[in-house]
Every structure is written in structure tokens, then in C-alpha cells.
Amino acid sequence: MKIFIEGPHWTGLWTEIIVDSLRQAGHTVGVSYHNRKTLQDRLVLAGKALLQGENRKTAWIERHRRQLLEAMSHDRWDTLLSIQGTVDQQTVAQCRQHSPGLRVLYWWGDILTDQAQARISQAAEFSEQLLVSGKGTFDRLRPVHPEQLRYFPFGVSRHFHSVDNISARDRQRFAAEVSFAGTCYPERCELIRYLNTQLDTPVRVWGRGWRHCKGVRSHGALALADSLKVHACSSISLNLHHADTDNGRNMKFYEIPAAGGFQICDWQPLLEETDLGRQTVACRSLAEFAEKTHYYLAHEQERRQLARTASQTIFTTEDYPSKLAELFSDPS
């Protein structure tokens, strides 16, 4: 199958992981990043803003859509998978002129804001399927898009998420009793600051935005490969979903056990629905985070066994190659 992907260029390598998984399965895959601007793109957009007063965001979306059309014009494609992309009905109609029968799948993995809901509604006008990674998002939108909507949670790739042969230097660099690797949100700041009053050793933090969290020091942003090393080298890796998460599991939920790390995260109802969820230690309050962090620091063998079990489970039940094979073999 020939599959073209319009996706984001992020440190989490969402697009790259999907591209690699599909290519490993034997598909021909093309890709266009909807948020990656070249120097020439930036110069053109700056000129338009200066000379014509055009909004840069709007100008970039239009420019990207033209680039997408150009990239897809060199072959006939079976499927366009848009990962939170900016493709619109007119662009899809033009793509289908060159690739008759083109199926469009639109994937939203982020939290469901008003803007996101509007974007999904727009995508419904030209997409055969709407994929959402949040269970609460799926339940909320199913009455609106009963024929198109499909629950499609995140997953893992052995190629990208396995951690092997960590150097002694990296083990020293990333070692931690308790760690957090990720962007600062107010609720995450609150958790780390609270735990630092309860633990003998402060939580080691990596990620963006932590300068806004008074009293918490970040060791800087990390690429995915180094984030996975943090999880592998920590006794406990913390995971706290965005406050607006509606019964979902973020990418970190999968990354920590894939790296062989031990995860403590906030409770989400759907954790009780899967083996991996039931194997994950989850908390409903700051006090419970502190209680369970103390407990599992003191019970190393139990902690290591839970981490081994979760690591085995995730590559058996949550691997992207299997999820994508099912998705693209579904005649609907």
C-alpha cells in the first residue's frame, strides 16, 4: 500500500515512528511535516508579513498545503494519514484528482479543546476515518461521528523505544531515585514541589518550561532517546497527565515501561481495562503520590518485578506494527 503522512515534527518522534513502522511492514510511505519550516519558508513568510500584512500562521498553512500537493503529485497514493494536520477539504479534493480513490484518515492524539473539536469536525467533511487516542474524547465524540470515529491509542516501537547498552557516562548523567522528564504544566509543578517537601532527595527534572516553576530546577530539554535513558536509569519515573486529559494515556505512559522503567502516574479510569493499565501504579492525590513513591523506593524487588512485567506486556499488546496492521487491513 502507498501511504502518505502529513504529520508534526516533534521531539517525541510521533511521525517518524509511524513512518518507520509502516515501512517495516512493507508499505511505501511519503511524509510532509506540517510544522517544520525551512529557512526559505521563513524568509517567504517574513516577506509576506512585512509587505502584505498577511498573518504568518495563515500564510504558512496555505504554503504547507501547496507543498503537500506538490509532494503527493509524484505518485498515486492509496491513503493520506493526517496526524493533527492542516489539510482541508479543498486540498483533499485536489489530491484525489491525482490519486482517485484516496482514503483519508485524520488522527487526533492530543487533549480535546474547543479548537481541537472544531478541527476534527472539519476533518470529518473529507475523512473516511477519524482516529482519536483519548478514550474520553472517543466517548464524547462518538454520538457526533458514529460512522467515522475510531479509538486508536498510542503505542510503542521496538526500534525507537527499546533502550540497550547505556554507557557508564549516561548512567551517571541520568541516574535518579525519582525523576520526571517532560514539559512543565501547573499541575506538574505542583506535584514536583510537593514531593520535594516529602522526599529525602529532590525529584530530578528534565524538560521545557520549568523556569516558571519556582524552586524546581530542570536539567534541560531532552530528545526522545535521552528521555528513555532517564526512565531506564531512574528507580521511579513519574508521569502526570495534562489536567484536561479525559480518560486518556499520554505517550509517556507507554515510553516509561518500554524503556524498562518503573512508572507511577495519575489515575485514569481506563487503566482498569487493559493488562498494562492494571500493572501500572496509579494515584488519585498528591498525598498518594508521596505514599507510593516512599513505598516503592523501599521495596526494590517488587518495583523491579512490576517494571519487568510491564515492559514485557507493552511490546506484546501495545506495539505500533500490530496496531497499524489492523488499522490498514480494516476494509471499513
CATH of the domain at 139: 3.40.50.2300
- Tell whether 112 and 188 lie within a shared domain: no
How far apart, in whole angstroms, are the C-alpha atoms of residue 42 and residue 192? 38
Q: What is the pLDDT averaged over residues 122-143?
A: 97
Q: What is the pLDDT averaged over residues 267-283?
A: 95
Q: What is the pLDDT averaged over residues 276-289?
A: 97
How far apart, in whole angstroms, are the C-alpha atoms of residue 169 and residue 172? 5
In a domain, 326, yes or no: no
Hey, which bits of 27-113 come out as E strands?
A: 28-33, 79-83, 103-108
- Tell whether 119 and 206 lie within a shared domain: no
Q: What is the pLDDT averaged over residues 307-319?
A: 96
Q: What is the pLDDT averaged over residues 51-62?
A: 78
In a domain, 332, yes or no: no
- Tell whether 186 and 308 lie within a shared domain: yes
Pair 264, 238: CB distance under 8 Å: yes
How far apart, in whole angstroms, are the C-alpha atoms of residue 211 and residue 33? 29
Q: Which of 160, 166, 237 is nearest to 206 (CA)?
A: 237
- Tell whether 55 and 120 lie within a shared domain: yes
Asked if pLDDT for residue 49 goes beyond 90, the answer is no
Task: For residue 248, name the pLDDT band (cuts at 50, 70, 90).
Answer: very high
**pLDDT recorded at residue 43:** 85
Q: Which domain holds residue 7?
A: 2-152
In a domain, 100, yes or no: yes
- Tell whether 165 and 302 lie within a shared domain: yes
Task: For residue 329, name the pLDDT band (cuts at 50, 70, 90).
Answer: confident
Q: Which of the listed residues 152, 178, 197 is the one where a domain comes to its end?
A: 152
Threshold 0.75, pTM exceeds: yes
pLDDT in tens, 67-97: 999 999 999 999 999 999 999 999 999 999 9
Asked if pLDDT for residue 158 goes beyond 60, the answer is yes
**pLDDT recorded at residue 44:** 82
CATH of the domain at 258: 3.40.50.2000
In a domain, 328, yes or no: no
Task: For residue 50, name the pLDDT band (cuts at 50, 70, 90).
Answer: low
How far apart, in whole angstroms, are the C-alpha atoms of residue 233 and residue 261? 7
Q: Which of the listed residues 152, 182, 204 is the one where a domain comes to its end?
A: 152
- Tell whether 272 and 173 lie within a shared domain: yes
In a domain, 223, yes or no: yes
| Mean pLDDT of the residues in the chain | 95
- Tell whether 293 and 196 lie within a shared domain: yes
In a domain, 96, yes or no: yes
Task: For residue 331, name the pLDDT band (cuts at 50, 70, 90).
Answer: low
- Tell whether 129 and 204 lie within a shared domain: no
Q: Which of the listed residues 102, 122, 152 is the one where a domain comes to its end?
A: 152
**pLDDT recorded at residue 277:** 94
The tally of domains found in the chain comes to: 2
In a domain, 329, yes or no: no
Tell me the three cell numbers of residue 113: 479543546
Residue 33 backbone dihedrals phi, psi, to 5 degrees: -90, 125
- Tell whether 98 and 205 lie within a shared domain: no
pLDDT in tens, 173-222: 999 999 999 999 999 999 999 999 999 999 999 999 999 999 999 999 99
- Tell whether 167 and 311 lie within a shared domain: yes
Q: What is the pLDDT averaged over residues 301-310?
A: 97
Q: What is the pLDDT averaged over residues 118-145?
A: 97
Task: For residue 57, name the pLDDT band (cuts at 50, 70, 90).
Answer: confident
- Tell whether 84 and 42 lie within a shared domain: yes
- Tell whether 85 and 54 lie within a shared domain: yes
The DSSP 8-state label assigned to residue 203 in this structure reads P
**pLDDT recorded at residue 51:** 54
How far apart, in whole angstroms, are the C-alpha atoms of residue 4 and residue 72? 7
In a domain, 323, yes or no: no
Sign of the torsion angle spanned by Cα atoms 41, 36, 31, 7:
negative
